[in-house]
Structure 1
């Protein structure tokens, strides 16, 4: 008869940001470990709170699943001679401790079958549980006892049951038992796994993450009802708070109306930083209320609310003090103070960084081809003031307000709106899916700033590896890509990288190496982003293999190729292009194609050669004209008109003929076609649909 398994790992409070990934990881590990251990089950459920990770496995088999292993031995010819086993066959049988009669031949090889015994599940569970717990990994972990076992937080208890029986094992200094802990570390005996989740609920512990999140939203919504206001449904604090508590209870609190005179962002950050919810009226204005969420049932809410209000009042008073202090001081001189703020030991101060990307932004303005008019004076001013808020007391105390507070200070100092807004927007995007700069000027500064950071860290040896990217260089590269596409900026990426690297205070050898690495790094990000936009992987590869120096131009070519792929003539002409590429690649081993002149019509031996040449000549100028103005869609429609003459050419003509003059003439024709259409994409990279 099947039984259920319960494994609960009780810990000190786990950081909220770790819970979601830990639960997903735990589920994946359990599936893998149960499969490896050959233990059958019906379903694995994983639950988690800030104090416990729970695995509940339903209908676990009482015995391991039988396993039949087939081992291959020597060939039949080596194993048998005249029907009798040789020393090779005898040795093979001895290795696996079977009789010679147990050997059999399959596909010309001698084989043996070994069946692993099916142990009682109860026997394998201790090692299985230990393996599950030890396989968990976290961004940061702790050591708390002599064995130096590492875990996200110290383990305080482990409950492990198979049916009603304890699965006995030890992790670090903790032995498994049939006891769990509820609030204030009170121990309670568990009767059976199947009732454990409902048992916790009865003790005011909601183990299911989605249920707990729903409770937080419902409780917060109910708390603000009396105010006539509401909290924003997309508030990221919902997910955070639901992972900070085991049973949410919402408390409506107030703060003094005088603080409503503070900048909106300052109030929001102060409240959200304390994991509270901001209350807005119907017009989107902040109301003098906030909602706090406590852990536990709703008792003594009035006195608890006063405690929350006391904390928030103190924080808002601090914010008010720092704001007034900073606004008394002229904003522009703050830039000089950046000389005392280190950006990186190898790259100098933040002031040095500002000086570098100011020059880079100026060069970028000259390099950009855009329909928008870019005001270089505004760009220069944004650059100069962009980091000045970093030395203010407000940003020192509230670092998440960098840029935002710069905008507030610049506006208060009388700067133009385009400048003050640019100071905030040049930091964008802050997150992967964050907002992008609105204006062309702030976009130029954002690109220059990000490129300086990428170039600087690459030169300093801080190159992202694996999942590690402590300086956010992948996000910076993606930010450059997204901004260029949004603003329709056409510029030479190689020039931008070269200029950024040349401005760095590092040795020349590091600069050259860094430039090549940065180019590949951004190209990879661009390839990935194209795939996110729905441009297939082979289309992205085809476009970027041809030309990848202009981000926006590459994007337009990617869209155009994606569109024309839907036409029936595209796949055959792409296949023919691939054939052309293979022929030229083979030819390049013995000749230099770049030295070929135009094909000689007098050397054509077949009408198909003449037809292809004449079609190529007739479309060449029209195609180039389309490409020169970025009309890739029309250009590609011209490209696919070559299908019939190309097909006819390959049906009737052998390119690599024995006559060298004719062969070179045919190669010259194909090379001209290949080079022309490489202005859009390397169509040899296109994979037919049935092979994708």
Structure 2
């Protein structure tokens, strides 16, 4: 059967820009998947998504007008119900056949087949393939029902009675199979071949579509609309780079902003604008944020990454003289920048230190007190960490930074732009003459804020950032506010991963159990069960570490082998993983891992703990002596390598034990009748087990 390309478009009022990309992808994907499932499209049918501010569409290649007929073996009923004792059809069977369009003459064609514990009768029938009209109607209904709509609105149709729920009011529906109209309905609309172009710049309105394949071209040439989200995105990116290059500058890199602007315009036109240089005295983060968040502008940076007084606007119109558009945007941005300058000037009239007292009036959490109380807990944790990292001086700086870190929450700038908390604190600390070390720590104490974010720049910042995250984790775990499923309203997973990243990437020799215990003690009676809280938070930390390691490409066995030891020195995990990976590549690894697992099982089943060391005088079999001697020879270099942190060498020194271990298990009965002999052999195996599992639990590598 010949195929044609299919075009479906839903024309609507302006869609929510932050959701448009996802809406377009979901609409086209669900349509195509449903058509493939009904046999109207093939696995090789190409799908092109269209999404602009006022339309969702899909172009699907190689779509049939009718799907192939399919032979189906249809189950009727159990044999005991379908046939009587004489093997004749029962009324129930005849009624079932009648409902399917058959009479008693079809009984000889029925097949007996096993159906679980019984036999059933099956009828072989041919199901007629779905027509495109029916299949597309089903696909369209499914696509609309499964759209990831952020918020549904209700509106009335033209009859004044019927109400429809959808993301925005819909005004047009197109469904073309080649040049042929496919009759379908949706949202009170009946399909046609007419769509609308740009509100102001369409050359022809409405646009009468010739066929499915001319859709994008006609919209561009007649309707002044780039229908494809991807094409519009690429065109905006190209124009931004070109306009910036003409000025010798670079547009700010913001993927989310670019996606949002792509969803706001139908035919982009990038224009260069300017603002007064006096505003550059305001921290550039403030200016950039207000331009991006409030106006959807693209600030321009110089070669050093510093903000300039020029920015780019993506206009939805292309007048012959763009000066009025440029002037309008420059006029609109000026009050925004003036507000930022006013906030900055006003905030600097008070020091950060003078604001700290006000934190006692800001509620942090109903069960955990105020921000002021929280600051005192963070200070105590930061001092302890600072002492361990760098002694008294570092502890003092960490205390100062922790005391002031939340003070910018009470500033006008952060009140207007919460995203700037920490950043503004750093600027105000410098204005207060607190020095770069403390200012950087205040600015960085929220870091890392997301995957891939930078870590704090100095040890003071590390101490305060660790303290801040540990206080959050311990406090919320202590009152039972644990993440559940995909719900994590306090971003505790992100906090835990931030702690892990700082410990590992900065190679901080800090005991994670001791850190959490220190944090727990700062809460006093607010944490009802301190021991349980420590255990919960430690387990949570290791869970996040395991997830992070999987994301980095480590295998499940490698991770399990290292983390099952539950070493509180998290910074050593990367070296241990590298050692395990190197060990697993050795030819002796599989045998030794299996033997280690066997040894562990034997020791676990033992009635009493083994002696501290085996007594060579009690050896009976030569294999016992051989294993003892080999273990003595290998343990010394393995232990020495372990102590100096060379975990790879520590594990590889044990490779020589393969032969004596194999010989031991081939020739020695561990569970001997003589209790003393059995205890001595268990002691030997315990020494072997301890030597093999210094770095990781090698039994986890056994298949």
Give 1:344's aligned residue: 365
Q: Which runs of 5+ in 1 are unaligned?
A: none
Counterpart of 1:102 (choices 83, 96, 110) is 110
Counterpart of 1:245 (choices 254, 265, 270) is 265
Q: How does 1:282-301 map to 2 (within 5 A)?
A: 282-301=303-322
Do the aligned partners of 2:31 and 2:142 also contact (CA within 8 Å) in 1? no
User: C-alpha deviations, 1:78-126, integer Å up to 9, x for none?
Assistant: 9999xx9979999999978863553256899867464443232322321
C-alpha deviation, 1:65, in angstroms? 4.4
Do the aligned partners of 1:8 and 1:160 also contact (CA within 8 Å) in 2? yes
Q: How does 1:409-558 map to 2 (within 5 A)?
A: 409-504=428-523, 508-509=527-528, 513-558=532-577
Do the aligned partners of 2:475 and 2:527 also contact (CA within 8 Å) in 1? no
Give 1:124's aligned residue: 135
User: C-alpha deviations, 1:41-66, integer Å up to 9, x for none?
Assistant: 32222222233222221111222344
Do the aligned partners of 1:206 and 1:212 also contact (CA within 8 Å) in 2? yes
Counterpart of 1:599 (choices 607, 610, 614) is 614
* Secondary structure of the corresponding residue to residue 688 of structure 2: helix
Counterpart of 1:160 (choices 169, 175, 178) is 175
TM-score norm. by structure 1 comes to 0.88
Do the aligned partners of 1:428 and 1:479 also contact (CA within 8 Å) in 2? yes
Q: How does 1:139-288 map to 2 (within 5 A)?
A: 140-145=150-155, 151-163=166-178, 164-171=180-187, 176-184=191-199, 187-202=206-221, 203-232=223-252, 237-273=257-293, 274-288=295-309
* Secondary structure of the corresponding residue to residue 251 of structure 2: coil
User: C-alpha deviations, 1:601-652, integer Å up to 9, x for none?
Assistant: 3443322222112222333344334333432122112232322221222232
User: C-alpha deviations, 1:279-337, integer Å up to 9, x for none?
Assistant: 23344443321111112334552111111101221111111111111112122111111
Distance 2:290 2:346 in 1: 17
Give 2:159's aligned residue: none
Do the aligned partners of 1:386 and 1:426 also contact (CA within 8 Å) in 2? yes
C-alpha deviation, 1:462, in angstroms? 3.8
- CA 1:114 to 1:680, structure 2 compared with 1: closer, same or farther past 3 Å? farther
C-alpha deviation, 1:671, in angstroms? 2.8
Distance 1:15 1:598 in 2: 72
Give 1:389's aligned residue: 408
Is 1:137 aligned to residue 137 of structure 2? no
Distance 2:601 2:319 in 1: 74
Do the aligned partners of 2:207 and 2:219 also contact (CA within 8 Å) in 1? no
- CA 1:661 to 1:5, structure 2 compared with 1: closer, same or farther past 3 Å? farther
* Secondary structure of the corresponding residue to residue 684 of structure 1: helix
- CA 1:141 to 1:65, structure 2 compared with 1: closer, same or farther past 3 Å? farther
- More off after superposition, 601-610 vs 111-120: 111-120
Give 1:653's aligned residue: 668
Q: Which runs of 5+ in 2 are unaligned?
A: 101-105, 157-161
C-alpha deviation, 1:597, in angstroms? 4.3
Do the aligned partners of 2:595 and 2:661 also contact (CA within 8 Å) in 1? yes
Distance 1:114 1:567 in 2: 58
* Secondary structure of the corresponding residue to residue 183 of structure 1: coil
* Secondary structure of the corresponding residue to residue 353 of structure 2: coil
- More off after superposition, 344-353 vs 15-24: 15-24
- More off after superposition, 63-72 vs 271-280: 63-72
Do the aligned partners of 1:489 and 1:552 also contact (CA within 8 Å) in 2? yes
- CA 1:516 to 1:87, structure 2 compared with 1: closer, same or farther past 3 Å? farther
C-alpha deviation, 1:4, in angstroms? 2.8
Q: Which runs of 4+ in 1 moved over 6 A?
A: 71-76, 78-81, 84-98, 106-109, 146-149, 371-374
Give 2:50's aligned residue: 47
Distance 1:603 1:74 in 2: 74
User: C-alpha deviations, 1:532-578, integer Å up to 9, x for none?
Assistant: 22322220111111224332122321222123333333233223223
Equivalent residue pairs, number: 677
C-alpha deviation, 1:678, in angstroms? 2.8
- More off after superposition, 673-682 vs 288-297: 673-682
Distance 2:449 2:210 in 1: 49
User: C-alpha deviations, 1:330-357, integer Å up to 9, x for none?
Assistant: 2211111112222222222222221112
Distance 2:499 2:579 in 1: 22
TM-score norm. by structure 2 comes to 0.86
- CA 1:313 to 1:507, structure 2 compared with 1: closer, same or farther past 3 Å? closer
Distance 2:345 2:289 in 1: 17
* Secondary structure of the corresponding residue to residue 681 of structure 1: coil
C-alpha deviation, 1:31, in angstroms? 4.7
C-alpha deviation, 1:379, in angstroms? 0.7
Distance 1:558 1:216 in 2: 45
Do the aligned partners of 2:546 and 2:559 also contact (CA within 8 Å) in 1? yes
User: C-alpha deviations, 1:644-681, integer Å up to 9, x for none?
Assistant: 22122223234345555544443332233223333321
Do the aligned partners of 1:74 and 1:88 also contact (CA within 8 Å) in 2? no
C-alpha deviation, 1:505, in angstroms? 7.1
- CA 1:408 to 1:672, structure 2 compared with 1: closer, same or farther past 3 Å? same
Distance 1:46 1:270 in 2: 32
Distance 2:165 2:82 in 1: 55
Q: How does 1:586-625 map to 2 (within 5 A)?
A: 587-588=605-606, 591-592=607-608, 594=609, 596-625=611-640
Counterpart of 1:642 (choices 622, 643, 657) is 657
- More off after superposition, 220-229 vs 52-61: 220-229
C-alpha deviation, 1:276, in angstroms? 1.4
- CA 1:226 to 1:545, structure 2 compared with 1: closer, same or farther past 3 Å? closer
Do the aligned partners of 1:141 and 1:153 also contact (CA within 8 Å) in 2? no
* Secondary structure of the corresponding residue to residue 299 of structure 2: strand
C-alpha deviation, 1:434, in angstroms? 1.2
Distance 1:43 1:378 in 2: 61
C-alpha deviation, 1:130, in angstroms? 0.3
- CA 1:284 to 1:88, structure 2 compared with 1: closer, same or farther past 3 Å? same
Give 1:7's aligned residue: 8
Distance 2:32 2:167 in 1: 21
Distance 2:86 2:554 in 1: 61
Give 1:405's aligned residue: 424
- CA 1:380 to 1:195, structure 2 compared with 1: closer, same or farther past 3 Å? same
Distance 1:660 1:521 in 2: 43
Counterpart of 2:398 (choices 355, 362, 379) is 379
* Secondary structure of the corresponding residue to residue 45 of structure 1: strand
Distance 1:73 1:602 in 2: 79
